[in-house]
Amino acid sequence: MLNTTKIKSDFPIFKNQLNLTYLDSTATSLKPQSVIDKLNEYYTQYSSNIFRGLYPISQKATEEHEATREIVTKFIGAKHPEEVIFTKNTSESLNLLMYTLGDKIVQKDDNVIISIAEHHSNFVPWQMLCLKKEAEFRVLGINKEGTVKLDELEQQVDSRTKIIALTYISNVLGTVNPIEKIVKIAKKKNPNVIIIIDAAQAAPHLKLEVRKLGADFVAFSSHKMLGPTGVGILWGKKELFEEMPPFMFGGEMIEKVSVEKTTFDKLPHKFEAGTPAIGEIIALKEAVKYLEKIGLKNIEKHEKELTNYALERLNNEFGNDFQVIGPNDYKLKTGIIAFVFKDYHPHDIADILGNQGICIRAGHHCAAPLHEKANISASSRMSFYLYNNQEDVEKIINGLKKVDQILKMGFHERSTNSKFKQPCC
């Protein structure tokens, strides 16, 4: 397993929160000092807008910004830097595709295919598009391994299937869809179908090679892979991007404007209207460097070993009182364990654990259709990353014992302030 003592020393939050057991990296990851330093470097040394400034600090900011694009291109195995578009997050990337590509190619009586396990960001946009276009919204089921039913996929794809949008890794089940196999099946049935992959949970945890996957578009987020918030990455095939209209209009995406006509800039700028999150994009490169230094294969191996340990310990400790949502086999999962504990409400569980410095997620995790299919309204979710270890597993076990002690007495009153939204995503 990874040397988590050394890794944790790179994350200042652990020095400032001495009692912290962070098990919510699926929602957002913690940030190493190198990322924080790079963000600070931009704001203190060359804070300026990019591309248009002819003065040195603007040129420096532009170089740093575009260096991130180059590093991300290599990180995901893309061919051209201009195929990497910076957005605000994965949700914006998927909506960009819905409003530009989807609105253009989906017509009445066509169909779009997704799965029941999708995050709302990859479910609702396509649902809304199909309602608008009077197209069919086809929802694939999942098998006992927690992945898309391939036989059902093969049956559902036809000549009128325009888009297939699927998650790489479920943010609830932690299961990994066989994307290469899915692409081959779908493209064999309909060579013109566009395949979009939500890789928000994949990019931080396993080696992402977009060209090898065979999909047409892949979306993920900086903040789940040790980088700053406010940055999404959308990779797509260059020829498809060139055919698509812009998503937004404004500064930087314009080639020429006159009263009579406006023409748009080349890729990637055509899809990057307005001032971006410059400092955050610049700092993302440090997150990529950090992940590459540790090694994605090493991270994946570490998470599997830790998930195996956690499942064994939790099942041995609590038996049938601890029910995993999805498969109970670590070989079929990444470091995500969604669960139901006795008949206790997930919000109560998360609240009591939170008071012990243990951070988990509670709710439907922005995957309400999946929870509805499983006949539960909500679940609790712990998720592991490169800074977690067996000690964290023991802490949550002890924390759940305290949850049981408190809730079986019936005296707990949630401390969550009502002005906050119920946890979900």
Active site residues per annotation? 366
Instruction: Decide if 23 contacts 359 (C-beta within 8 A).
Output: yes
Helix (H), strand (E), coil (C) string for the chain:
CCCHHHHHCCCCHHHHCCCCEECECCCCCCCCHHHHHHHHHHHHHCCCCCCCCCCHHHHHHHHHHHHHHHHHHHHCCCCCHHHEEEECCHHHHHHHHHHHHHHHHCCCCCEEEEECCCCHHHCHHHHHHHHHHCCEEEEECECCCCCECHHHHHHHCCCCEEEEEEECECCCCCEECCHHHHHHHHHHHCCCCEEEEECCCCCCCCCCCHHHHCCCEEEEECCCCCCCCCCEEEEECHHHHHHCCCCCCCCCCEEEECCCCEEECCCCHHHCCCCCCHHHHHHHHHHHHHHHHHCHHHHHHHHHHHHHHHHHHHHHHHHHHEEECCCCCHHHECCEEEEEECCCCHHHHHHHHHCCCEECEEECCCCHHHHHHCCCCCEEEEECCCCCCHHHHHHHHHHHHHHHHHHCCCCCCCCCCCCCCCCCC
Instruction: Decide if 272 contacts 241 (C-beta within 8 A).
Output: no
Amino acid at 291: L
CA–CA dist 228, 249 (Å, integer): 25
